[in-house]
């Protein structure tokens, strides 16, 4: 019915071009970005996909693939943001997140007897807590006052500062100030959020969000606590998984919780917190002519039990039921027991875990339930366990990768920097004998088998490419520093004009690359290289100087 800001014209055509007016937080974070988005997909993903008898307001989220067109980001600060944000919170070039506030109430004046409407916020940023909080403020007003409300809200959001990692922001909207801290890559993993500041001068007192993105993990995982080890392994290995839930809220929260449990390692596979039969990728995911893709997909329509029953891992969750004081835990069941009708909650899989269960964690969580420990404390306990597990697994890989870096003394100013040595899986496996996960993790099991399987997963590929890119950039930076320390005049004494001109061109190329790729080089170093170039050009004959000054 309505799109704000108005200059994002959504026509009746399935694919629509969207533009963004400025690089502020509002237009880069909350509004729609550049590229192509499917109007029909957004509409279908904004409503429950199966019969929902529940009345009232519900919130959930979805993730949508950009449907072709230019992938270049229009946001001026994209490069800086992605460099400084944790890898798990970077803007995605090819996907959008949708945050939905859905209202269903009885209304005899409507043809169906119900008022059913959704307000959807679309962003490239995975700030689920911030945007759902924002919708809680906006949506009830919008349903009453319609377009004037959205116009006022968008005007306020357009004044928000950009989301700079490490900064605490005060975001005014509708008479409320939301205070959030944008996480930074340099934050210590697992540390508590930095204490919010600047509250004493704010009237009214701000609405402080402890995190822009972290879910209540304990609440999300309540029915599967005893299987947390298995679910972590399935996520680590990028296994295809279906989450079948009674509502889009449960579906989307479970998928987001699963994909977040690898932090600080990035989950590099595809994931759809909520997916419907109308999605353009429905045929791709339901075909039996090829193996299911590496994706976690959340669904609510019972029809998916039939169409996705060939998938290797299916998590069926129902409404939370208690067994005494404790949440009833689902059981692991064979895939053959998956019935098309009336499928009971359970994890339907033939997967055998590589690592043993951490019974100590389960006992601590169950004791916390009995003692009525607050959910946020239980979540912190669970998040800490998952963080330590991921770190124990990834630190040996980080150490081995660092050993492939050439020694600094091998980097000389007048030769190309040496190559990073190739990653050899067998050499890495040998290194585990004296530097493996057993040093930091008490869990026993087949760690070697888990690593071998991990090497075949998209998560390893994503991690390795990221590390290789960072190491290559570090080598480039060290090479520039070596050039700065060299005696350039002495080098030039016995060199021909051709060699000197060639050096000027190479140094210029390095300088441009260092600035474009934002290499980890001090500005002082870049200025010195620029000065070197001018010095070299100044020593050449005037005709060459003219050419090199005006290439």
Query: Mind listing the pLDDT tens digit for each residue in 154-167?
Result: 999 999 999 999 99
How much is the average pLDDT of 270-289?
Answer: 90
Above pLDDT 70, what percent of the chain?
87
Comparison of pLDDT for 32 and 272, the residue scoring more: 272
pLDDT score of 146: 82
Instruction: Indicate the domain borders of the chain.
Output: 35-68+78-162, 216-475, 487-550
Strands (E) across 152-197 are located at: 168-173, 176-181
- What would the pLDDT profile of 385-423 be if each residue is shown by its tens digit? 999 999 999 999 999 999 999 998 888 888 888 899 999
Take residue 114 and report the two structure tokens written for it: 């119900």
pTM: 0.88
Comparison of pLDDT for 9 and 244, the residue scoring more: 244
pLDDT score of 471: 94
Do residues 428 and 464 lie in contact, with contact meaning Cβ atoms separated by under 8 Å?
no
Q: Is the pLDDT of residue 73 over 50?
A: no
pLDDT score of 423: 96
Residue listed under structure tokens 């080890």: 229
How much is the average pLDDT of 81-92?
Answer: 91
Least confidently predicted of 279-283, 331-335, 435-439, 546-550: 546-550
Residue listed under structure tokens 């893709």: 293
In this structure, the number of other CB atoms found within 10 A of the CB of residue 270 comes to: 20
The alpha carbon of residue 281 and the mean position of all alpha carbons in its chain are separated, in whole angstroms, by 21
pLDDT score of 349: 94
How much is the average pLDDT of 313-322?
Answer: 88
Can you tell me the distance from the alpha carbon of 310 to that of 305, in angstroms, rounded to the nearest whole number?
9
Comparison of pLDDT for 352 and 482, the residue scoring more: 352
pLDDT score of 16: 31
In this structure, the number of other CB atoms found within 10 A of the CB of residue 498 comes to: 8
Q: Helix, strand or coil for residue 73? A: coil
pLDDT score of 342: 65
Confidence of residue 97 (pLDDT cuts 50, 70, 90): very high
Residue 3: phi and psi, rounded to 5, are -130, 130
Q: Is the pLDDT of residue 21 over 60?
A: no
Q: Please tell me the number of Cα atoms within 13 Å of 310 on its side-chain side.
A: 10
Q: Is the pLDDT of residue 204 over 70?
A: no
Start-to-end Cα distance in the chain: 54
Comparison of pLDDT for 398 and 497, the residue scoring more: 398
Q: Is the pLDDT of residue 196 over 60?
A: no
- What would the pLDDT profile of 231-250 be if each residue is shown by its tens digit? 999 999 999 999 999 999 99
- Annotation: CATH topology of 216-475: Rossmann fold (3.40.50)
In this structure, the number of other CB atoms found within 10 A of the CB of residue 32 comes to: 22
Residue 516: phi and psi, rounded to 5, are -65, -40
Do residues 124 and 72 lie in contact, with contact meaning Cβ atoms separated by under 8 Å?
no
Residue 243 pairs in a beta bridge with 298, 315
- What would the pLDDT profile of 365-388 be if each residue is shown by its tens digit? 989 988 989 999 999 999 999 999
Q: Helix, strand or coil for residue 60? A: strand
pLDDT score of 12: 43
Least confidently predicted of 20-29, 362-371, 430-439, 494-503: 20-29
Confidence of residue 278 (pLDDT cuts 50, 70, 90): confident
Tally helices (H) and strands (E) across the chain: 19, 16
Q: CA-based angle 136:141:142, to the nearest 5? A: 95
Q: How many residues does the chain have?
A: 551
How much is the average pLDDT of 340-363?
Answer: 88
Can you tell me the distance from the alpha carbon of 83 to that of 520, in angstroms, rounded to the nearest whole number?
11
Q: Is the pLDDT of residue 195 over 70?
A: no
Do residues 279 and 308 lie in contact, with contact meaning Cβ atoms separated by under 8 Å?
no
Q: Is the pLDDT of residue 355 over 90?
A: yes
Confidence of residue 528 (pLDDT cuts 50, 70, 90): confident
Can you tell me the distance from the alpha carbon of 147 to that of 138, in angstroms, rounded to the nearest whole number?
11
**Edge-to-edge order in the sheet of strand 176-181:** 168-173, 176-181, 207-208
Q: Helix, strand or coil for residue 104? A: strand
**Mean pLDDT across the chain, nearest whole number?**
85
């Amino acid at each position: 019915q309505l799109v704000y800001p108005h200059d994002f014209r959504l026509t009746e055509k399935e694919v629509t071009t969207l533009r963004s007016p400025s690089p502020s937080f509002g237009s880069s974070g909350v509004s729609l970005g550049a590229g192509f988005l499917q109007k029909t997909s957004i509409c279908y993903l904004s409503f429950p996909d199966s019969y929902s008898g529940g009345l009232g307001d519900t919130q959930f989220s979805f993730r949508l693939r950009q449907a072709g067109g230019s992938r270049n980001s229009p946001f001026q600060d994209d490069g800086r943001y992605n460099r400084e944000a944790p890898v798990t919170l970077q803007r995605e070039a090819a996907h959008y997140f949708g945050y939905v506030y859905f209202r269903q109430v009885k209304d005899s004046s409507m043809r169906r007897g119900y008022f059913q409407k959704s307000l959807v916020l679309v962003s490239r940023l995975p700030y689920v807590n911030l945007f759902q909080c924002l919708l809680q403020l906006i949506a009830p007003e919008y349903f009453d006052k319609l377009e004037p409300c959205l116009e006022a809200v968008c005007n306020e959001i357009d004044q928000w500062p950009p989301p700079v990692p490490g900064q605490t922001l005060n975001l005014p909207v509708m008479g409320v100030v939301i205070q959030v801290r944008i996480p930074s890559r340099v934050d210590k993993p697992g540390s508590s959020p930095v204490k919010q500041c600047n509250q004493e001068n704010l009237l009214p007192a701000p609405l402080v969000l402890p995190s822009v993105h972290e879910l209540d993990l304990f609440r999300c995982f309540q029915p599967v606590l005893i299987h947390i080890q298995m679910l972590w392994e399935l996520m680590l290995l990028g296994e295809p998984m279906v989450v079948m839930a009674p509502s889009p809220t449960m579906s989307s929260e479970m998928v987001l919780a699963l994909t977040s449990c690898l932090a600080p390692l990035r989950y590099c596979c595809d994931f759809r917190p909520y997916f419907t039969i109308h999605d353009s990728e429905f045929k791709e995911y339901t075909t039996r002519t090829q193996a299911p893709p590496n994706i976690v997909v959340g669904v609510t329509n019972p029809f998916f039990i039939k169409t996705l029953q060939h998938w290797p891992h299916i998590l069926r969750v129902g409404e939370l039921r208690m067994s005494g004081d404790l949440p009833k835990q689902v059981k692991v069941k064979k895939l053959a027991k998956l019935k098309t009708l009336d499928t009971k909650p359970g994890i339907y899989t033939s997967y055998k875990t590589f690592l043993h269960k951490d019974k100590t964690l389960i006992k601590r969580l169950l004791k916390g339930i009995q003692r009525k420990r607050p959910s946020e404390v239980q979540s912190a306990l669970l998040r800490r366990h998952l963080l330590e597990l991921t770190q124990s697994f990834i630190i040996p890989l980080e150490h081995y990768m660092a050993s492939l870096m050439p020694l600094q003394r091998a980097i000389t100013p007048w030769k190309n920097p040496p190559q990073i040595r190739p990653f050899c899986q067998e050499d890495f496996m040998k290194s585990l004998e004296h530097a493996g996960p057993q040093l930091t993790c008490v869990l026993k099991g087949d760690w070697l088998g888990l690593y071998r399987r991990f090497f075949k997963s998209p998560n390893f590929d994503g991690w390795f490419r990221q590390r290789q890119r960072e190491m290559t950039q570090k080598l480039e930076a060290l090479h520039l520093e070596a050039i700065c320390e060299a005696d350039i005049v002495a080098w030039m004494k016995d060199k021909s004009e051709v060699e000197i001109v060639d050096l000027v061109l190479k140094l210029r190329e390095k300088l441009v690359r260092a600035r474009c790729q934002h290499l980890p080089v001090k500005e002082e170093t870049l200025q010195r290289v620029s000065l070197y170039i001018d010095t070299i050009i100044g020593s050449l004959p005037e005709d060459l100087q003219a050419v090199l000054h005006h290439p």
